[in-house]
Homo-oligomer: A and B are copies of this chain.
Amino acid sequence: MLNITEQARVRTVALNRPEALNAFNKRQFDEVAEAFLAAKADAECRVLVLTGAGRAFSAGADLGPTTDYQPVHGLDGMLHAIVDFPKPFVLAINGLGVGIGATLTGLADFVFMAQSARLRCPFSTLGLVAEAGSTRTFPALMGRQRAMWFLMASEWMSATQCKEAGLALEVFADDGFMDAVHEKAAYLAGLPSESLTSAKRLIIDASERGRLKTVIAAENAALAKLSGGPANLEAVAAFREKREADFSNL
């Protein structure tokens, strides 16, 4: 369910379940983890670009019925593979990003967004809480007030707002978006690889990588506690019954 291509030492990994707006299911967590591990091991790959096929980047975690697929890496394994990825990691947000489709931006080295793309962290409206290290990465990128609002209020942020906030490095026109991203990525891929990996290892050092994994674990523990709780159940019920959720007594 990934579409992987390579050009000019830039490996492009596209989430490829457009019919589900590229929502992550257990299998996709594993496949993305494997893609990062393979790109790390392959000297021919200098830069990894993650994007989505079709009109969305990713609608988040798949809330559909769980299959009997046995995960190898899981969400945690995917996030650790990203945190430990030593080469430039470019995120090309081609369309909407929701939930983990939004929080992944905090783990990317460079985020480029299509003009019409937008991000949303709907955790609070689901009775849940943010993940993917975003409770640490977002305040560092945007400042605590903006990050807390984005993580708590479940509102959309446009590409322009993301750039102003520091969550995206640049916004490109929808037309030719991937070409513009590839130009940036190919430029990086043409520079001495060891200079780039040395710089990344200094900017995100072992202590910061360890800290991110600790935060990811704390987020997952909070998520596990809230999942299936009263607010989460009310949110799911309201969604099914096509009504507004009522959290006033919770």
**Residues of A participating in the B interface, judged by any CB pair closer than 8 Å:** 9, 88, 108-111, 123-130, 135-136, 139-149, 151-154, 166, 168-169, 187-188, 190-196, 198-205, 215, 218-219, 222, 225-226, 229, 231, 235, 247-248, 250
CB distance from A107 to the nearest CB of B (A): 10
5 closest A-B pairs by beta carbon, nearest first, are: A192-B231, A135-B202, A143-B166, A124-B195, A129-B198
Which of chain B's residues have a CB closer than 8 A to the CB of A145?
A: 108-111, 141, 166, 168-169
Which of chain B's residues have a CB closer than 8 A to the CB of A110?
A: 145, 148-149
Choice from B124, B191, B199 contacting A191 with Cβ under 8 Å: B124
Which of chain B's residues have a CB closer than 8 A to the CB of A215?
A: 202
Which of chain B's residues have a CB closer than 8 A to the CB of A127?
A: 192, 194-195
Q: How far is the CA of A247 from the CA of B166 in the complex (A)?
A: 31
CB pair B146–A143 under 8 Å, yes or no, is no
CB pair A250–B166 under 8 Å, yes or no, is no
Q: Name the residue on B nearest A166 (C-beta).
A: B143
CB pair A199–B148 under 8 Å, yes or no, is yes
Q: Name the residue on B nearest A232 (C-beta).
A: B192
Q: How far is the CA of A147 from the CA of B135 in the complex (A)?
A: 20
Which of chain B's residues have a CB closer than 8 A to the CB of A143?
A: 140-142, 166
Which of chain B's residues have a CB closer than 8 A to the CB of A247?
A: 190-193
Given contacts A142-B143, A152-B199, A201-B222, 18 further A-B contacts (CB under 8 A): A110-B148, A123-B195, A124-B192, A124-B195, A125-B191, A127-B192, A127-B195, A129-B199, A135-B199, A146-B166, A148-B199, A151-B203, A152-B191, A153-B187, A192-B235, A193-B247, A195-B226, A198-B226
Q: Chain B CB within 10 Å — which of A111, A196, A218 has the most?
A: A196
CB pair B218–A205 under 8 Å, yes or no, is yes
CB distance from A129 to the nearest CB of B (A): 4
Which of chain B's residues have a CB closer than 8 A to the CB of A111?
A: 145
CB pair B152–A192 under 8 Å, yes or no, is no
Q: Chain B CB within 10 Å — which of A143, A203, A222, A225 has the most?
A: A203
CB pair A203–B135 under 8 Å, yes or no, is yes
Q: Chain B CB within 10 Å — which of A108, A130, A145 has the most?
A: A145
Q: Chain B CB within 10 Å — which of A111, A140, A191, A231 has the most?
A: A191
Q: How far is the CA of A119 from the CA of B139 in the complex (A)?
A: 23
CB pair A109–B148 under 8 Å, yes or no, is yes
